[in-house]
A = this chain, B = another copy of it.
Amino acid sequence: MGEVFEIYPLSCYYFGSKEPKPDKDETLFERVQRFKANYAVKGMRTCVEGVLLVELFGQPHVLLLQVRNSFLKLPGGRLRPGEADIDGLKRKLSSKLSSVENGIGDDWQVGECLGMWWRSDFETLPFPYLSPNIQMPKECIKLFLVKLPRSRRFIIPKNLKLLAVPLCQIHNNQKTYGSIIPGIPQLLSKYTFNTVQV
């Protein structure tokens, strides 16, 4: 019944905190301005994000970061110019979820690319395809499945909150989770999850 993917109970993991990582933008307007300025210099930006799973109450849960007690996002972030997807994702996972800062020595197991989303303009929603009339997309967002080990210390910046959310809660729930996260249950549906009891 599909490819087996092993997950571990939430209780296998330790959760601690570290110094806050200040947001680069105070407002959505500032965020868009910075996006445009960066695009003018560096071209299309690529974001890499990780799908990390744990078991809770017999169900797979995905780990999401909550920003300012409001919106939720997958752990990840923007690649540096010339940086490889996997290297960038490991660096970002360490920066958001670990006591290690630069990703070096951290043991993230980045698996397959689950999906790619494209933003055709700075303020438009991302779509899971690139329309042929879009010559110059502004952003590409790539989701990767990340395999968690049997145990791990998650160290989260104090201005972020790490939540474990069941797949059934995010499925098709665009209102709460935006454009990309609600599709994760479909992207994972080919897997059979096997909870390893420790």
Q: Residues of A at under 8 Å CB distance from B?
A: 1-3, 57-60, 112-117, 127-129, 131-132, 140, 142, 167-168, 171-172, 174, 183, 185-190
Partner pick for A186 among B2, B128, B140, B168, CB 8 A cutoff: B128
CB distance from A54 to the nearest CB of B (A): 14
11 residue pairs of the A-B complex, CB under 8 angstroms, read A1-B140, A2-B142, A3-B113, A59-B131, A59-B132, A115-B189, A116-B190, A128-B188, A129-B168, A129-B185, A183-B183
Contact A190 B115 (CB under 8 A): yes
Partner pick for A113 among B58, B127, B190, CB 8 A cutoff: B190
* With A2-B113, A2-B116, A132-B57 as contacts: A127 and B187 at CB distance below 8 Å: no
Count this chain's copies in the assembly: 2
- Considering the chains assembled together, what is the distance between the CA atoms of A57 and B142 in angstroms? 26
- Considering the chains assembled together, what is the distance between the CA atoms of A42 and B195 in angstroms? 29
What are the 7 tightest A-B residue pairs by CB atom distance, in nearest-first order?
A128-B189, A58-B132, A115-B189, A183-B186, A128-B186, A128-B185, A113-B190
- Considering the chains assembled together, what is the distance between the CA atoms of A140 and B190 in angstroms? 11
- Considering the chains assembled together, what is the distance between the CA atoms of A190 and B85 in angstroms? 13
Contact A129 B190 (CB under 8 A): no
CB distance from A131 to the nearest CB of B (A): 6
- Considering the chains assembled together, what is the distance between the CA atoms of A127 and B112 in angstroms? 23
